[in-house]
Amino acid sequence: MEERGKKLGIYVAEFLTTIPKWGTPHAALFLVEEDADGPLSMMELHYDVGLIEAEDGQGEACAVMVPNIKWDIRELSQNPEISVSPLIGGYEIDVLPMWIHVMEDAYRRRERLSCFDYKNVCAYEAHNCRSGVASALKALGMEVTQDLFADRAGLGADMQVLSELFDYHAFAPSLDVLRAQWMTLAGELTLPKEVESAPVHIPA
């Protein structure tokens, strides 16, 4: 019998500690291991803001969306600082292809240098971290509803899905191949050097 791997899940996560600074919880996607003692985050996908300087060095810096991954192990079952909504659960062989698809979409968005509404982050139509998460869910063919989130800021943004919709009937490669694809994309989605010194918002 083919190995199916660990039990994993994809969760929407919102960091409640960012409300005083930003006026809205910071939203992200978590890849979660469904541990017997409770869910543990394995990888986080953030849609943060970075500032790219004008080419001539004279104009105002442009705020862009910088999708990036963060490795962090967090226990989620009793964490008062993070609100989570489970979206998808199953074995690694089934969940990893979806997570890889989301990462591919995020990589395309970073290459596109999509705008980030840094000065209007709490607006319903804002391009912000939550609208980035919503676009990832749309790439999976999921309906984005208010009840998945603790706040509505960004849910009305006109974020275009940059990849084809995930094919739930496609043949999945072996776990070894999936894990290799996952690690390759993780390397591509580290925080880029050109925005490392910018005020990029990544919760501790």
| 74-85: average pLDDT | 79
Instruction: In whole angstroms, give the CA distance from residue 159 to residue 37.
Output: 37
For the chain, what is the domain count? 1
In a domain, 193, yes or no: no
> Greater confidence, 192 or 166?
166
Residue 64 has pLDDT above 90, yes or no: no
In a domain, 49, yes or no: yes
Q: What CA dihedral angle connects 84, 85, 88 and 91, to 10 degrees?
A: 40
In a domain, 172, yes or no: yes
Instruction: In whole angstroms, give the CA distance from residue 145 to residue 160.
Output: 17
In a domain, 195, yes or no: no
In a domain, 2, yes or no: no
Range of the domain at 95: 7-178
Give the pLDDT confidence of 105-137 residue by residue, as tens digits. Answer: 999 998 888 888 878 889 999 999 999 999 999
Residue 143 has pLDDT above 60, yes or no: yes
* The pLDDT value given to residue 74: 76
In a domain, 53, yes or no: yes
| 81-108: average pLDDT | 92
* The pLDDT value given to residue 203: 36
DSSP string, 56-99: TSSSPPEEEEEEEEEEEEEE-TT-TTEEEEEEEEEEHHHHHHHH
* The pLDDT value given to residue 60: 61
Instruction: In whole angstroms, give the CA distance from residue 24 to residue 14.
Output: 9
Give the pLDDT confidence of 31-60 residue by residue, as tens digits. Answer: 999 877 778 888 999 998 877 665 545 556
